[in-house]
Structure 1
Amino acid sequence: MRLAAEHIDWSVHGHQLLDDVSLTIEPGETFGLIGPNGSGKTTLMRVLAGLRKPRSGRVLVDDASMYAMHQRDIARIIAFVEQQAETLDRIVVREAVALGRTPFLSALQPWSEQDDAIVAQALANVGMTHLADRFWHTLSGGERQRVHIARALAQQPRILLLDEPTNHLDIRHQLSILSLVRQLSVTVVIALHDLNQALDCDRIGVMDGGRLVDVGPPSQVLTAARLRHTFGVHADFLDDPVDHRRIMRFRSAL
């Protein structure tokens, strides 16, 4: 399913957070969004998820305006994993993941064994089956992040938005989650802090000062000049001796 933003502007108290951002993510594409802190990545992700309506511009889902859709219909298509999403409810992990099924439930379509199976599979996908009956407030930050991702998977979205999903995760779970995301047959937009992780995306977009300043394949976008200008670092480009993949090593430009 295609997701597009057209001429998006967003400002708060006179401060421009998004400035004329236009972007199209193709069906089945894994699109990485990168940029320095404060560049507008999270704001753009929330606009794409339908959680914020921009001052001007629009978001399209397969050429249909998101703003003509009901929130329930959007939730059946798009799942969003935020950087920080907390709950004060005294619920267990399984119940938190089951919230992903909410858009599909109604008086005519109550909870079923199929919903149980979907939740169980989502827990297994993020390695949280053994903690399914633990209370949310007893989890570590990394465990909570995996539960958020499981909730999004239980939604069975056609478009998955992830805002720095590997925050709080140890390296093993970072690699596991990113591998899982790459295997999903859905359109993925993923905001990333680790630029080496962005190398595995089909395309990436660079945010800087609220503007989308570059879009394209990682090999064309992540140049020494771009990294120096936008991120303020010097980069050495190396080939991994095991699988010969390109990796980057960074040095301060100061």
Structure 2
Amino acid sequence: MRLCAEHVDWRVHGRRLLDDVSLTVEPGETFGLVGPNGSGKTTLLRVLAGLRRPKAGRALADGRQMQTMRPHEIARAIAFVEQQADTLDRLAVRQAVALGRTPFLTPLSPWSEEDDTIVDQALAEVGLETMAERLWHTLSGGERQRVHIARALAQRPRALLLDEPTNHLDIRHQLSILRLVRRLPITVIIALHDLDQAMDCDRIGVMEGGRLVDIGPPREVLTLERLRHTFGVHADFLDDPEQGRPVLRFRRAL
């Protein structure tokens, strides 16, 4: 699925959170959004997920304006994993993941064995198959995040948008989730704080003050000058023979 933002603006109480942002993410691409806190990453993700209507400009999914699409149409094509979401409902893990199938259920197409299989696969993909009956309130923050990712996978989306999905995960699960995301044969847009993780994206976009200030392959965009100017840090690139790519070594903040 191709996702586009065309000259998108978004304001809240007179404050401009997105300023004339234009972006096209190609089908099957893994695109990273990076930038300081408050730079507009989450707002842009929500616009591209069809959850916010731009104040100006437009968002498109495969050439269709999202403003003209019904919510269930968007939900069948695009899954969004928030940075942190909670529920007061007394749900088991499996029930929470099964919510990902909701857009596909109708009176003529009720729950089926295929839906059971899809939920089982989503649980297995995030390593939660043994916790399917655990209740939501007994889960750690990292476990809850993995449930949200499984719920998104259960939607079988053509585009997956994730807002800093590794924030609450230990390093082992960070790496496993990122490996899973990278091998998905769908369009992925992922907001990241960890710039080393962003190096594995096909392309990245740098947000600063609500503007998309740079876009391209990670090594071309994350120059030492960009790291100083946008992120306020001094860093060096080191060659990692094991990973086969450059890695960042941060020396100090400005």
Question: TM range, normalised to the smaller chain?
Answer: over 0.9
Residue equivalent to 1:169:
169
Q: Tell me the SS of whatever aligns to 2:197.
A: helix
Residue equivalent to 2:111:
111
Give the superposition deviation at 1:219.
1.0
Whole-Å separation in 2 of the counterparts to 1:49 and 1:23: 13
Give the superposition deviation at 1:181.
0.4
Give the superposition deviation at 1:252.
2.4
Amino acid at match of 2:106: S
Residue equivalent to 1:231:
231
Whole-Å separation in 1 of the counterparts to 2:225 and 2:96: 44
Residue equivalent to 1:50:
50
Whole-Å separation in 2 of the counterparts to 1:117 and 1:141: 26
Residue equivalent to 1:90:
90
Give the superposition deviation at 1:240.
1.2
Residue equivalent to 2:212:
212
Whole-Å separation in 1 of the counterparts to 2:106 and 2:249: 52
Give the superposition deviation at 1:243.
3.5
Whole-Å separation in 2 of the counterparts to 1:196 and 1:168: 17
Q: How large is the Cα RMSD of the aligned pairs?
A: 0.7
Amino acid at match of 1:170: D
Amino acid at match of 1:17: L
Q: Unaligned regions of 5+ residues in structure 2, if any?
A: none
Q: Unaligned regions of 5+ residues in structure 1, if any?
A: none
Whole-Å separation in 2 of the counterparts to 1:23 and 1:165: 21
Give the superposition deviation at 1:146.
0.1
Residue equivalent to 2:81:
81
Amino acid at match of 1:18: L
May I ask how many residue pairs the two structures share in their alignment?
254
Amino acid at match of 1:214: D
1:158-200 C-alpha deviation (Å, 9 max, x unpaired) = 0000000001100000000000001100000000010000000
Residue equivalent to 1:189:
189
- Dislocated runs of 4+, deviation >3 Å: none
Give the superposition deviation at 1:51.
1.0
Whole-Å separation in 1 of the counterparts to 2:243 and 2:68: 47
Residue equivalent to 2:5:
5
Whole-Å separation in 2 of the counterparts to 1:164 and 1:243: 22
Give the superposition deviation at 1:241.
3.5
Residue equivalent to 2:249:
249
Whole-Å separation in 2 of the counterparts to 1:35 and 1:200: 16
Instruction: Indicate yes or no: 2:240 matched with 1:240.
Output: yes
1:108-187 → structure 2 map (5 Å cutoff): 108-187=108-187
Kindly tell me: are residues 138 and 253 of structure 1, through their superposed partners in 2, closer, same or farther at Cα, counting changes over 3 Å? closer
- Output the TM-score relative to the length of structure 2: 0.99
Whole-Å separation in 2 of the counterparts to 1:117 and 1:253: 49
Identity among equivalent pairs (%): 76
Whole-Å separation in 1 of the counterparts to 2:63 and 2:191: 23
Whole-Å separation in 1 of the counterparts to 2:141 and 2:243: 32
Amino acid at match of 1:92: A
1:227-254 C-alpha deviation (Å, 9 max, x unpaired) = 0000000111001142332100112242
Q: Tell me the SS of whatever aligns to 2:36.
A: coil
